[in-house]
């Protein structure tokens, strides 16, 4: 029997999902940053700053920013790890990675960076390579999330940590209703106005609803081997930072 999975609210053949996700990010790559600011009213910058603050990354560390796209996290990590460290900005999508690479070169932070096109489900790095792996707003798009978590666990050094920053389930039911109205009525329209692509932003809001909630993802991280797995809700659980360690 054919294996199926969700692409937003649509049920698709599991082999098709990565291609459909790729179309979304090829389409929005050049307008990705400006849309993030519009949709979140700039708040995504605070969520990312908090992620960096709790990363434990120090000079000399090796960091993998997975599904790193245009490189907001990678840029900050480049400064933290310094000349003796290394940041790998990695993404499955050539258009997003190319935007990221240009931004890093323009910002003058590419000296201690590598750019690697890779699928999170099968990372092309040796075991025990990184002190920290981050994945911001990426896991939601991955077809086999369990395979991705196992792959991340493998490439972390013992003592290393994973931080997954991802949309999640708001904790307050009234707030959830208002947020749903905003998401479904406003975001696809703004997406269409800014990028000319309504469907990609319809996918965005649907994919958020299909993503595992806080406790489910915590359990998946434990299942993949992570120790001391926990999460921190931000903005009432609109997003959560999941954290886990490799012992």
Ligand X SMILES: C[S@@+](CC[C@H](N)C(=O)[O-])C[C@H]1O[C@@H](n2cnc3c(N)ncnc32)[C@H](O)[C@@H]1O
Dist. CA 196–CA 30, nearest whole Å? 12
Axis-axis angle for helices 14-28, 94-106 (nearest 10) = 40
Dist. CA 179–CA 187, nearest whole Å? 11
Dist. CA 213–CA 45, nearest whole Å? 22
Residues in contact with ligand X, shown as a per-residue x/- string from 62 to 81 under the rule CB under 6 A: -----xxxx-x---------
**Residue 137 touching ligand X (CB under 6 A):** yes
**Computed over its alpha carbons, how large is the radius of gyration of the chain?**
17
Tokens 């002190």, residue?
131
Shortest reach from residue 135's CB to ligand X, in Å: 7
Nearer to ligand X, 86 or 91 (CB): 91
Shortest reach from residue 82's CB to ligand X, in Å: 22
Candidates 8, 85, 138, 191; binder of ligand X (CB under 6 A) is 138
Tokens 């940041």, residue?
87
Dist. CA 66–CA 91, nearest whole Å? 6
**Residue 92 touching ligand X (CB under 6 A):** yes
Edge-to-edge order in the sheet of strand 62-66? 113-117, 86-91, 62-66, 130-136, 156-167, 239-245, 227-234
Measured in residues, the chain has a length of 247
**Residue 99 touching ligand X (CB under 6 A):** no
Candidates 21, 110, 163, 221; binder of ligand X (CB under 6 A) is 21
Nearer to ligand X, 159 or 196 (CB): 196
Dist. CA 103–CA 72, nearest whole Å? 9
> Would you say 220 and 146 are in contact if contact means Cβ atoms under 8 Å apart?
yes
Nearer to ligand X, 13 or 227 (CB): 13
Helix and strand numbers, DSSP H then E, in the chain: 10, 9
Candidates 55, 78, 131, 141; binder of ligand X (CB under 6 A) is 141
Nearer to ligand X, 15 or 172 (CB): 15
Span of 108-116, 137-145, 155-163, 214-222 interacting with ligand X by CB under 6 A: 137-145
**Residue 93 touching ligand X (CB under 6 A):** yes
Span of 61-69, 177-185, 195-203, 231-239 interacting with ligand X by CB under 6 A: 61-69
| Positions in 107-136 near ligand X (CB under 6 A) | 119-121, 136
Shortest reach from residue 174's CB to ligand X, in Å: 27
| Positions in 31-60 near ligand X (CB under 6 A) | none
Q: What residue ranges bind ligand X (CB under 6 A)?
A: 21, 25, 67-70, 72, 91-93, 96, 119-121, 136-138, 141-142
């Amino acid at each position: 029997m054919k294996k199926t999975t969700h692409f937003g609210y649509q049920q698709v053949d599991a082999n098709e999902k990565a291609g459909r996700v790729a179309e979304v990010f090829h389409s929005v790559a050049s307008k990705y940053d400006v849309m993030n600011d519009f949709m979140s009213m700039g708040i995504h910058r605070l969520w990312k700053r908090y992620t960096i603050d709790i990363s434990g990354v120090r000079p000399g560390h090796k960091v993998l920013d997975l599904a790193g796209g245009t490189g907001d996290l990678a840029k900050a990590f480049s400064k933290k790890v310094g000349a003796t460290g290394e940041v790998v900005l990695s993404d499955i999508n050539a258009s997003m990675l190319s935007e990221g690479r240009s931004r890093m070169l323009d910002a003058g932070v590419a000296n201690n960076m590598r750019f690697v096109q890779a699928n999170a489900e099968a990372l092309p790095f040796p075991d025990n390579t990184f002190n920290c792996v981050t994945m911001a707003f990426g896991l939601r798009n991955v077809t086999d999330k369990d395979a991705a978590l196992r792959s991340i666990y493998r490439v972390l050094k013992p003592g290393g940590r994973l931080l997954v920053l991802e949309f999640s389930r708001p904790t307050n039911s009234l707030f959830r209703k208002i947020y749903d109205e905003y998401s479904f009525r406003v975001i696809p329209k703004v997406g269409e106005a800014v990028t000319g692509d309504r469907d990609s932003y319809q996918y965005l809001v649907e994919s958020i609803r299909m993503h595992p909630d806080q406790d489910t993802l915590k359990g998946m991280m434990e299942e993949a081997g992570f120790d001391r797995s926990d999460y921190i809700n931000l903005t009432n659980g609109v997003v959560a930072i999941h954290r886990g360690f490799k012992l």
